[in-house]
Amino acid sequence: MAVASLVSSIAAQPRDVEVRTSLDRTAIWVADRVTYTIRIACEKGVDILADDLSKDKLHVEGLEILDSRSDRTIGADDRARYTFSYDLTTYRVDVPDLKIAPLTVRYYIRRVGQRIGDAAAPAGEVQVPAAVIAFRSALPDAQDTYAVRDGRDARPRRLRYGWLQPVGIGLVLISIVPALVAALAVARRIRTPVRAPSARRVRHDERASLDALQALDISTPAGRRDAYSRLNGLVRDHLHYATGLDAASLTPAEIGAAAPQDPARVPIEVVTAVLDACDRARYAPADRLPSIDECRQAIEQCAEVLSHS
């Protein structure tokens, strides 16, 4: 596509500042990008106010400014040359001509030892000419609305593609069957109740735990502390099995108040005595642990509790 180029004419002082503008394409489609470039060449001792060419000073119609860049060089002839580039695009379909408004750029005469910002007033102005970009679209011109789809019915499917639908539905159904089987198996496992251990199994496990307790070496403080810890768990588990009480989370006093008062079934006084001794032994300092005889007495009390069911 041809490159559009314009040269501004400067009426006041044509030799001080020269402006050229160019577009890398003269027409664009929706979402295409176009680069608008302004090149300014200043005579020796002349400079421009670059802020007049900033991104927010460029006014466009039907376009969006995506990005901007600038560059300044000083040639061997001490002339300042500027290049300002703007990346533009459009997402509209109702603007046939995309326009870039003209710009006014101020320039200054630099004196020796003087900065451009110290000048009292600009020496003159130069006009950057406007530019127009044509919009190309496959949509008809001069439409009030742009419907995405028209009202026509879809064309009938070709015969060779007609058999694909039942085949696709069959494949979907085949893939669903294994998933349903797996889901039913999971549901069956979830619904299957966990069988409680038999009374014979519970008594056997309690007897084994009690035998292990009686075989412990309780001659040391660590051995007695371990024995009391096992006693605490064994008595609470037996109470839960015998009464259904959630004894693991209750204190001995709460157990005494909540457990059924049936000495023939569970001797609650003995249970609370053993649990009180376990709590004191598990949390007491080493020099205040129960003696060996007291520990043996607690094990015997545990055996009495387990004998009731």
Three-state secondary structure of 281-295: HHHCCHHHCCCHHHH
Return the pLDDT at 12.
Answer: 36
Strand partners, 186: none
Q: What is the pLDDT of residue 141?
A: 58
pLDDT band at 4 (very low <50, low <70, confident <90, very high): very low
The whole-number pLDDT of residue 2 equals 41
Across 255-261, average pLDDT: 73
Amino acid at 228: Y
Q: Is residue 68 scored above 80 in pLDDT?
A: yes
Model pLDDT, residue 61: 92
Q: With helix as H, strand as E and coil as C, how does 215-272 read?
A: CCCCCCHHHHHHHHHHHHHHHHHHHHHHHCCCHHHCCHHHHHHHCCCCCCCCCHHHHH
Q: At what angle do helices 268-283 and 221-243 cross, to 10 degrees?
A: 150
Q: 75: which DSSP letter?
A: -
Residue 20 has pLDDT above 80, yes or no: yes
Alpha carbons 288 and 295: distance in angstroms, whole number: 13
Percent of the chain with pLDDT over 90: 22
In the predicted model, is pLDDT for residue 11 greater than 50? Answer: no
Q: How confident is the model at residue 73 (pLDDT cuts 50, 70, 90)?
A: very high
β-partners of residue 65 are 88
Q: Which two tokens stand for residue 5?
A: 């180029």
Phi, psi of 80 (to 5 degrees): -85, 135
How many whole angstroms from its chain centre is CA 187? 33
Tens digit of pLDDT for each residue in 130-153? 999 988 765 555 556 655 555 667
Instruction: Classify residue 275 by its DSSP letter.
Output: H
Q: Has residue 21 got a pLDDT over 70?
A: yes
pLDDT in tens, 99-135: 999 999 998 887 766 565 555 467 788 999 999 998 8
Percent residues over pLDDT 70 in the chain:
82
Banded model confidence at residue 5, pLDDT cuts 50, 70, 90: very low
Rounded mean pLDDT of the chain? Answer: 79
Distances (CA, A) of 53 to 40, 50, 82, 102, 130: 11, 6, 10, 11, 13
Q: Encode pLDDT of 214-231 as tens digits.
A: 888 888 888 888 888 888
Q: Which of 251, 257, 217, 224 is nearest to 236 (CA)?
A: 251
Greater model confidence, 69 or 222 = 69
Interval 63-72 mean pLDDT: 93
What average pLDDT score do residues 276-302 get?
A: 82
The Cα-based distances of 71 to 55, 115, 169, 243, 246 in angstroms read: 14, 19, 63, 90, 81
Q: What pLDDT is attached to residue 182?
A: 87
Two tokens, residue 163: 């058999």
Helix (H, G, I), strand (E, B) or coil at 134: strand
Q: Determine the pLDDT at residue 205.
A: 81
